[in-house]
Amino acid sequence: MNSYEFKRLLDDANSGNSNAIMKVAKAYRYGDGTEKDYDTALGWYKKNHSGESFYQRAMMRKETMGTDDIYTEYLDKALSLYKTESVRDQDGYSSYSAGLIYLMREDYKNALTYFNLSFEQHTTYASYELANLYFLGRGCDLDYKKACDFYEMTLENSQKPHVKQMTHFRLGLLRYHSKYGLKNDERALNHFLEASAYGEGKAYRYLGYMSFHGQGTKIDKLQAKEYLIMGVTYGEDLCLKYLNDFQLPFDRLVITHIHSLHEQAKNTSKQEVRDMLLNKAYVNIFDTNNHSTLFLYDDDLKQIIPFTQKALLPYQDTPYCILINQISTIDLAEGTLFYYKIIEKDNNFTFVEVTDEKLTRVLLREYRKLK
């Protein structure tokens, strides 16, 4: 929000609006529309006496002091209030939040009770958690049909990329393995494709295996090799094993080099990452017929290079794959580009999805030159 919107929100909060009080607290906590001020945020949370307020106080305490007695006290109070609000107000979000606290404490039976209550209160907050509990048999008997139904519901309602990633992957497992009693290879393949698009490296082992054996699709050994190579770039050792077992020809130096970069990433200090230029990437371009070609993109040269052993040689000592993970152009006609770059957040490094129109134009121009 901008400063004007924050001022209006602050006026509402000062008038006693409980929702505005929580939003002002959050704004100070994260520096949204105003300067970040942890103490002021905590002060505003203390003006509200809901379960959500005590939960946020618990999380702030954990961030600064760890899971001490005060953190436990706040969390206990949050749980008590959430349970009261759940029954008194028939509030599905409060039921869901109570379930989350039980889940944090590994009390799966009570977590299941409150997630089910949230669902019965005509909300879909808990569909993902319910699916996981039934899939893993936590707090209940294993029930793969219920897990599948709740995962499908999650896809309809959740907009969170990490949730969609795991949901598609587990639906792929449920539809692929016969032991779950839900086998459908075509649907499994589609879910693994979606999971891979959200960055699930393990999906590539299934995509490669299924393409090689013609499960859910026609046999396509070239496509299988591409999937398995992509799996290796995500550090999936089983993909490298399949490449060898299936006797698919590939440049061993390239595969080994990609894998070694992932090993380097585990030991790279934050200062080293911070000092590196974010200018190298693997490029996976799909044309309008959905044919895939793998390239290396060099931002210094403003060009893409066919992905070969020779192309990699100048970059042997640069762990570029941990800085920008993957670029995918889904449709050349639309010219839409998404890539992942690393950012520092809360003293940790994470990947974020970025859209870059200028980089799209550069890639498309260089791609067409190669064609």
Query: Mean pLDDT in the chain?
Result: 77
Q: Which of 105-109, 277-281, 312-316 has the highest mean pLDDT?
A: 105-109
pLDDT tens sequence across 112-165: 999 999 999 988 889 999 999 999 999 999 999 999 999 999 999 988 888 999
Return the percentage of the chain with pLDDT > 90, whole number.
Answer: 53
Q: Which of 204-213, 229-238, 242-251 has the highest mean pLDDT?
A: 204-213
- What is the arithmetic mean of pLDDT over 202-227? 94
Antiparallel, parallel or unpaired: β 324-329 and 280-286: parallel
Residue 292 has pLDDT above 80, yes or no: no
**310 or 118: which leads in pLDDT:** 118
Buried b (16+ CB within 10 A) or exposed e, 246-278: eebeeeeebbebbbebbeebeeeeeeebeebee
Question: What is the rounded CA–CA span in Å between residue 74 and residue 61?
Answer: 9
How far is residue 130 from each of residues 34, 146, 149, measured CA to CA in Å? 37, 9, 10
Strand order in the sheet with 348-355: 303-306, 292-298, 280-286, 324-329, 337-345, 348-355
Residue range 60-88: mean pLDDT, rounded: 94
Does an H or E element contain 341, and which? strand 337-345
d(CA 249, CA 72): 57
What does the angle CA 286 – CA 290 – CA 296 come to, to the nearest 5 degrees? 20
Report residue 18 as tokens: 């409980």
Higher pLDDT, 287 or 364: 364
C-alpha 287/C-alpha 285 separation (Å) is 7
Would you list the domain boundaries of the chain? 159-250, 267-371
Residue 162 tokens read as 């990490």
Q: Which band of pLDDT confidence, cut at 50, 70 and 90, is reported for residue 229? A: confident
| Collapsed DSSP state (helix, strand, coil) of residue 296 | strand
Superfamily grouping for domain 159-250: Tetratricopeptide repeat domain (1.25.40.10)
For 135, the token pair is 């899939």
Sign, Cα dihedral of 43, 45, 48, 53: negative
Least confident of 28-42, 64-78, 289-303: 289-303
- d(CA 200, CA 169) in angstroms, rounded, equals 7
